[in-house]
């Protein structure tokens, strides 16, 4: 039954005022409203406490009710069940709207920092170099600040050998287009932010400038969750795993050095391996994979061609991989060769995973309709951020596809975002989050992501759950 106060609140919220008891059937008794006591200028509701009379402050007038000495109201008698058999639950609680409930926390500022991070070792894919040991690894960090002072961080990884976005295009896109579209928007409206970005940067074959979008999107997720004191898993209401197992990446120049890379990974506690192929001819690629399998006979092993093969070559390689107990053959063909991937999936004895082809959830829907995919690879930056990555993973799960995880050699900001995404969907296969293998994150401060024996612990603190030392970020900025 809606009392007078509830009726008033509904009217404030845009509904029609509800008259108490107007819609109740006749058999439900209407409760008698207590008569309002004449309490003069204090205008107190019945049952609310009057201020105690202060002794020694002069005489009280018997004419003015407001000056009457305070009389203690009688304690209400214990009540039994009402006519409907309901037990009493004590005095009714007053639901007071928070003072700042009408304030909408909005995005106030978006900043970019192009930073040079220390590199640890060389890393290349079929398209070219990703990290050169001894040379700085350039990353773009984004800081979002909200009206209430809450801040969040995101990351973009410019890798021209993997995608078309460069450092310059990421920064200019954020500063000239995405930041103006984001500033002033409600911080909570992450879906609205995604749609605003769709209008700001038109898509081509798929979404436009996904890496730049991802940096801002992740920073907004981080800031919003921090403003509520929640981790991303708590914000989403889903975290199925507390740890994610990582794979060691083998990307060597020859079969002779492949075993050394496996030995190094095992020394760091990594049990499972991913081999980059497509860097050489077919025979050399297969020799590298065979050397890795010989050095790690018990490991989960999968290969990633990063779009490096033609359809005919991919099928030949797939047939040879089956003899080496390879779990997955990842992105063997160019991302836009959907027809080729479908034919390969039908003929390959090894399950085919799709990565670069899946930028938008609608891309995944196309592959599902064409029956051209075995495994969907989740990747935050490729999808333009967590908003679309969550949608894509949910679609994959609903379609019964296996989900594997991957990254873009991110530093700890990107690593944290990926861990939260994979934990939300309970990814239990080893994932390719190789940032710690190839670059350092000197800006990371307590709490720092724990990686021990090849297993990463999903952060539990507010937002991304990691600390970022902004002074170090500014010192690293180019």
Condensed to tens digits (0 to 9), the pLDDT of residues 155-170 reads 999 988 888 999 999 9
Instruction: State the DSSP H helix or E strand holding residue 473, giving kind and residue range, or none if neither.
Output: helix 470-476
Residues forming a β-bridge with 458: none
Question: Can you give the pLDDT at residue 128?
Answer: 84
CB-based contacts of 233, cutoff 8 Å, min separation 6: 239, 420, 423, 424, 458, 460
Question: Can you give the pLDDT at residue 77?
Answer: 52
Does residue 126 sit within a domain? yes
Mapped onto helix, strand or coil, the DSSP state of residue 456 is: strand
- CATH number of domain containing 444: 3.20.20.120
Mapped onto helix, strand or coil, the DSSP state of residue 401 is: coil
Residue 74 has pLDDT above 60, yes or no: no
Does residue 32 sit within a domain? no
- CATH number of domain containing 179: 3.30.390.10
Instruction: State the DSSP H helix or E strand holding residue 112, giving kind and residue range, or none if neither.
Output: strand 107-117
For residues 179 and 28, the model is more confident at: 179
CA R_g for the chain = 30
> Going by DSSP bridges, is the β-strand pair 352-354/329-330 parallel, antiparallel, or unpaired?
parallel
Mapped onto helix, strand or coil, the DSSP state of residue 388 is: helix
From 232, 250, 284, give the residue that closes a domain. 232
Question: Can you give the pLDDT at residue 101?
Answer: 53
> Going by DSSP bridges, is the β-strand pair 352-354/444-445 parallel, antiparallel, or unpaired?
unpaired
Does residue 449 sit within a domain? yes
For residues 360 and 18, the model is more confident at: 360
Residue 293 — very low, low, confident or very high, per pLDDT cuts 50/70/90? very high
- Same domain assignment for residues 133 and 263: no
pLDDT more than 70, % of the chain: 78
Cα–Cα distance between 98 and 102 in angstroms, integer?
Answer: 8
- Same domain assignment for residues 299 and 362: yes
Cα–Cα distance between 119 and 128 in angstroms, integer?
Answer: 16
Residue 72 — very low, low, confident or very high, per pLDDT cuts 50/70/90? low
- Same domain assignment for residues 266 and 406: yes
- Same domain assignment for residues 382 and 459: yes
Each residue of 247-256: pLDDT tens digit?
999 999 899 9
Residue 60 has pLDDT above 50, yes or no: no
Residue 204 has pLDDT above 90, yes or no: no
- Same domain assignment for residues 145 and 220: yes
* Span 223-239, average pLDDT: 98
- Same domain assignment for residues 252 and 133: no
- Same domain assignment for residues 220 and 353: no
Domain count, the chain: 2
Each residue of 16-28: pLDDT tens digit?
433 333 443 444 4
For residues 75 and 416, the model is more confident at: 416
- Low-confidence winner among 12-21, 60-69, 79-88, 282-291 (lowest mean pLDDT): 12-21
Question: Can you give the pLDDT at residue 26?
Answer: 44
Question: Can you give the pLDDT at residue 81?
Answer: 52
Instruction: Evaluate the omega torsion of the peptide bond into residue 447 and state whether it is cis, within 30 degrees of 0.
Output: yes
Does residue 101 sit within a domain? no
DSSP string over 247-267? EEEE--SSHHHHHHHHHHHHH
Does residue 395 sit within a domain? yes
Residue 335 has pLDDT above 70, yes or no: yes
Does residue 97 sit within a domain? no
Does residue 448 sit within a domain? yes
* Span 313-319, average pLDDT: 97
* Span 86-109, average pLDDT: 57
Residue 228 has pLDDT above 80, yes or no: yes
Q: Which DSSP letter does residue 307 get? A: T
Give the other-Cβ count within 10 Å of 102's Cβ.
Answer: 7
Each residue of 380-408: pLDDT tens digit?
999 999 999 999 999 999 999 999 999 99
Question: Can you give the pLDDT at residue 203?
Answer: 79
Question: Can you give the pLDDT at residue 102?
Answer: 64
Cα–Cα distance between 311 and 188 in angstroms, integer?
Answer: 44
- Going by C-alpha positions, the residue among 15, 292, 248, 291 that lies closest to residue 123 is 248
From 205, 232, 259, give the residue that closes a domain. 232
* Span 25-42, average pLDDT: 41
Average pLDDT of the chain, as a whole number: 84
* Span 414-418, average pLDDT: 98
Does residue 143 sit within a domain? yes
- Same domain assignment for residues 211 and 262: no
Question: Can you give the pLDDT at residue 1?
Answer: 40
- Same domain assignment for residues 215 and 247: no
Residue 64 has pLDDT above 90, yes or no: no
Residue 91 has pLDDT above 70, yes or no: no
Which structural domain, as residue segments, surrounds residue 135?
107-232
- Same domain assignment for residues 256 and 392: yes
* Span 19-43, average pLDDT: 40
- Same domain assignment for residues 322 and 452: yes
- Same domain assignment for residues 142 and 190: yes
Cα–Cα distance between 292 and 337 in angstroms, integer?
Answer: 29
From 211, 232, 253, give the residue that closes a domain. 232
């Amino acid at each position: 039954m809606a009392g007078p106060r509830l009726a008033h609140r509904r009217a404030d919220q845009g509904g029609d005022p509800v008259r108490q008891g107007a819609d109740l059937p006749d058999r439900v008794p209407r409760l008698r409203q207590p008569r309002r006591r004449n309490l003069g200028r204090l205008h107190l509701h019945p049952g609310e406490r009057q201020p105690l009379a202060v002794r020694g402050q002069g005489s009280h007038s018997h004419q003015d009710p407001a000056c009457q000495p305070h009389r203690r109201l009688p304690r209400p008698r214990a009540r039994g069940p009402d006519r409907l058999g309901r037990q009493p639950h004590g005095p009714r609680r007053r639901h007071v709207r928070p003072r700042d409930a009408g304030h909408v926390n909005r995005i106030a500022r978006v900043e970019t920092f192009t930073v040079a991070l220390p590199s640890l070792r060389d890393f290349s894919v079929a398209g070219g170099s990703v990290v050169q040991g001894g040379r700085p690894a350039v990353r773009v960090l984004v800081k979002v600040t909200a009206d209430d002072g809450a801040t969040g961080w995101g990351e973009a990884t410019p890798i021209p050998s993997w995608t078309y976005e460069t450092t310059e295009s990421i920064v200019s896109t954020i500063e000239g287009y995405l930041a103006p579209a984001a500033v002033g928007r409600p911080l909570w409206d992450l879906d609205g932010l995604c749609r605003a970005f769709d209008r700001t940067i038109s898509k081509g074959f798929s979404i436009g400038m996904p890496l730049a979008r991802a940096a801002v999107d992740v920073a907004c997720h981080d800031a919003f969750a921090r403003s509520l004191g929640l981790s991303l898993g708590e914000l989403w209401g889903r975290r199925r795993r507390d740890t994610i197992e990582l794979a060691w990446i083998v990307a060597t120049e020859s079969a002779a050095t492949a075993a050394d890379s496996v030995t190094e990974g095992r020394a760091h506690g990594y049990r499972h391996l991913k081999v980059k192929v497509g860097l050489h001819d077919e025979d050399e690629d297969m020799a590298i994979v065979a050397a890795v399998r010989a050095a790690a006979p018990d490991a989960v092993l999968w290969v990633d061609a990063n779009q490096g093969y033609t359809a005919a070559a991919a099928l030949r390689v797939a047939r040879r991989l089956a003899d080496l107990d390879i779990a997955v053959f990842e992105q063997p063909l160019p991302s836009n060769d959907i027809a080729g991937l479908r034919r390969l999936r039908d003929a390959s004895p090894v399950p085919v995973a799709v990565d670069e082809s899946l930028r938008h959830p609608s891309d995944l829907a196309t592959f599902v309709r064409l029956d051209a995919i075995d495994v969907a690879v989740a990747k935050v930056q490729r999808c333009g951020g967590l908003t679309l990555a969550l949608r894509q993973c949910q679609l994959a799960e609903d379609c019964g596809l296996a989900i594997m995880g991957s990254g873009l050699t991110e530093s700890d900001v990107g690593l944290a975002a990926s861990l939260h995404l994979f934990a939300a969907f309970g990814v239990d296969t080893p994932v390719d989050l190789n940032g710690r293998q190839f670059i350092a994150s000197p800006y990371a401060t307590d709490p720092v992501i724990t990686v021990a024996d090849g297993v990463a612990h999903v952060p539990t603190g507010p937002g991304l759950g990691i600390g970022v030392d902004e002074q170090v970020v500014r010192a690293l900025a180019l």
